[in-house]
Amino acid sequence: MQPTDRFTALFGRSVALAQVRRAAFVDGMRSFTPALIATAPWALVTGVATVRMLLHLGRALAMTSFVFAGSAQLAALPLITAGAPVWVILLTATIVNLRFVIFSAGLQPYFRHLSLGRRLLLGYLISDFGYLLALRRWGSAVQRKPASTEQIWFFFGMSFANWVTWQTMSIIGILMADRIPPSWGMEFIGVLALITLVVPSLTDAPSIVGVLVAAAVAVFARGLPLKLSVLAAVLAGVAAAIGTEVARERRGRSS
């Protein structure tokens, strides 16, 4: 088999299309590298927690492989250990995952023209960082029209890099749980990585107001059950950002 045939088999019907897709896919993987510094420690910590709670290697590996959702997984673990009813576990995970419903709403205009199978695959792979980096690159120029082939494969490349890193680090965490001391300061490296990912997004007043409001709400609403504080924070932050936009437009019109 010629190398070009192999590309075509992997990436598309014609050589030209395969090259476009492959270039975008690789570009996506490369662009995602900084976010991996944040993903890796978080996945490791999740893997360690999973096997410590389940006390069963096979079950921990099964959970990590299928349930691709760090915070929902961490919320479900104590319930599984306690033998809570299945519906309680699933309801909890659903509520913890609600912030992804907001992300899917944000990405829907880009992906709405794809087949159901592709929409499900791209949806399953959505991550906070993937969404952040995709919109930073695309800006709001394509807001009205569906994403191009390059954009879709760029997103897929980012998601793929994220998925591979998440799974690898989770599995390492599960297998090495005994050898990883709990107080490695790993979490703080993850927090710093998150900060450096957010800072470049703070380019105008609405985004700065949104982020400050979201952060404050997350702290003040910390008493809410089921990580609802994160959902409340996102809703409040987005509302504050939109409010700031509207206020700026009004001021712009009157002056």
Partner 1 sequence: MSDLTFALVIAGLTVVTLVTRSSFLILGDRFSLPERIRHGLRYAPACALAALILPQLVLADQALNVSLLNPRLDAAVIAIIAMRATGNMLAAMCAGMAAFVLLRAVL
- Name 148's Cβ contacts closer than 8 Å, sequence gap at least 6: 142
Residue nearer to partner 1 on the CB measure, 129 or 153:
129
Tell me the closest approach of the beta carbon of residue 37 to partner 1, in angstroms.
7
Q: How far is residue 33's CA from residue 42's CA, in Å, rounded to a whole number?
A: 15
Query: Could you say whether residue 247 binds partner 1 (CB under 8 A)?
Result: no
Identity of the residue, 4 or 196, whose beta carbon is nearer to partner 1 in the bound complex = 196
Q: How far apart are CA 12 and CA 25, in angstroms?
A: 12
Nearer to partner 1, 52 or 99 (CB): 99
- Residues 96, 175, 159, 132: what is their CA dihedral angle, to the nearest 10 degrees? 50
The footprint of partner 1 on residues 50-109 (CB under 8 A) is 59, 62-63, 66-69, 72-73, 76, 80, 83, 86, 89-90, 93-94, 97-109
Q: How far is the CB of 4 from partner 1 (least distance, A)?
A: 32
Out of 6, 30, 113, 248, the only residue in the binding site for partner 1 (CB under 8 A) is 113
Tell the smallest beta-carbon distance from residue 184 to partner 1 (Å): 12
- Binder among 28, 41, 47, 206 for partner 1 (CB under 8 A): 206
Query: CA 56, CA 154: separation in Å to the nearest integer?
Result: 37
8 Å CB contact between 24 and 154: yes
- Binding letters toward partner 1, positions 8-47, x by CB under 8 A: --------------------------x--x----------
Site for partner 1 in 130-189 (CB under 8 A): 131-132, 135, 140, 143, 185, 187-189
- Integer Cα distance of 143 and 36 in angstroms: 27
Q: Are 209 and 47 in contact (CB under 8 A)?
A: no
For the bound state, the minimum distance from the C-beta of residue 212 to partner 1, rounded and expressed in Å, comes to 8
Contacts of 144 (CB under 8 A, 6+ apart): 109
Count other C-beta atoms under 10 Å from residue 80's C-beta.
16
CB of 246 to partner 1, least distance (A): 8
- Nearer of residues 16 and 124 to partner 1, judged by Cβ: 124
When the beta carbons of 8 and 70 are compared against partner 1, the nearer one is 70
Structural tokens at position 112 = 């709405």
Q: Please say which residue, 150 or 245, places its beta carbon nearer to partner 1.
A: 245
d(C-alpha 82, C-alpha 54), whole Å: 10
